[in-house]
Amino acid sequence: MTSLRLPALDPGTIEGVSRTGYPEPYRRHVAGRKKGALTERLGLTDFAVNITELAPGAWSALRHWHSAEDEFVMILEGTATLISDGGEQTLGPGMVAGFPKGRADAHHIVNKSDKPVRILEVGSRRPDDDAVVYPEADLAVAPGKKFVRKDGRPI
């Protein structure tokens, strides 16, 4: 196959990164998560698309919901567990889930299997007015993407 040039891109050429903005002690939950940001490489700014790989035991994020950002996920490979306020559901390749902005349904994806899981993640970008709620942690994201404690104190 010939090599691609923009505006085309082979997602397999994007190396995933393991960094997280979560402060301690929350970082350990996403250890084993690698995100490959596709939209930055394509110059797109209104929404974000990532290919995320979860090693066995890894979480996509802490359970959360957004005030001003929609989220969409599609399982590409493996068997994932979607955990939301409605309980747990098993998702396999080709299955999707969507999380409308402003709906207080905290969610995340966990790899409870013994094989890697690959996920396509799509989200809107609303850093100036989006707040993120983490119901099971003393953590929130204030508009502007700054982590704070639930009572608003800095971390």
The model carries a pTM of: 0.91
pLDDT of 1 over the 60 cut: no
Asked whether residue 8 is domain-assigned, the answer is: no
Q: Report the distance separating Cα 107 and Cα 85, nearest Å.
A: 7
Asked whether residue 14 is domain-assigned, the answer is: no
Asked whether residue 132 is domain-assigned, the answer is: no
Number of domains observed in the structure of the chain: 1
Residue range(s) defining the domain that contains residue 32:
23-126
116-147, pLDDT tens digit by residue? 999 999 998 876 788 899 999 999 887 777 88
At residue 35's C-alpha, the angle toward residues 32 and 36, to 5°, is 140
Provide the 10 A C-beta neighbour count for residue 37: 16
> Exposed (0-12), middle (13-18) or buried (19+): which is 137, by Cβ within 10 Å?
middle
Q: CATH number, domain at 104? A: 2.60.120.10
Asked whether residue 106 is domain-assigned, the answer is: yes
What's the start-to-end Cα distance of the chain, in Å? 49
Q: Report the distance separating Cα 58 and Cα 1, nearest Å.
A: 33
